[in-house]
Amino acid sequence: MKGWLAGIGVTIVALGATPARGQDTAEAGGAFDRAYEEFSRAYRDGDPQGVAALYTDDAWYLAPGDSIAQGHVVRHFEWLSSYQPGTGPVVEFEIVDRAVAGDLAYDIGYYRIRAAGAPEGSGSGGKFIVVWKRGADGTWRIHADGYSEVRGEGESE
């Protein structure tokens, strides 16, 4: 997983991403990047409700080794409430591919998660796919979220 950049919070890097097709795609990409920043902030702040607010009410959640779950995603993030604000995990994202078509879009990429204060590059990481859905209010939210760990650089699942 090359390309992790310095910084606290989220790193968004478009590697080979689908070229922007008009204003809607550029605006959607900006909304997604801001949502990843908010996701990372909510993790650091130990705020499960803040993370869950980024998902649709009927979102699909596909955690590794678990059944497919739908709706009430806050239950998957309740463990964050054990952290004091600013002491939660640091999550970083690297976007490998992004596409937008109407009110649906997807991001494919890598994530890295580490303890607050831990050196950059430490912790664990994996791959993810997120399906975005634009609501009637015009807000993009995560409608499906699937992820799994990556065993090591150069290894395939």
pLDDT in tens, 45-97: 999 999 999 999 999 999 999 999 999 999 999 999 999 999 999 999 999 99
Per-residue pLDDT band for 5 (boundaries 50, 70, 90) equals very low
The domains located in the chain, with CATH, are: 22-149 (3.10.450.50)
Q: How far apart are CA 53 and CA 155, in angstroms?
A: 34
The pLDDT of residue 39:
97
Give pLDDT tens digits for 91-145. 999 999 999 999 999 999 999 999 999 998 899 999 999 999 999 999 999 999 9
Q: What pLDDT score was predicted for residue 126?
A: 96
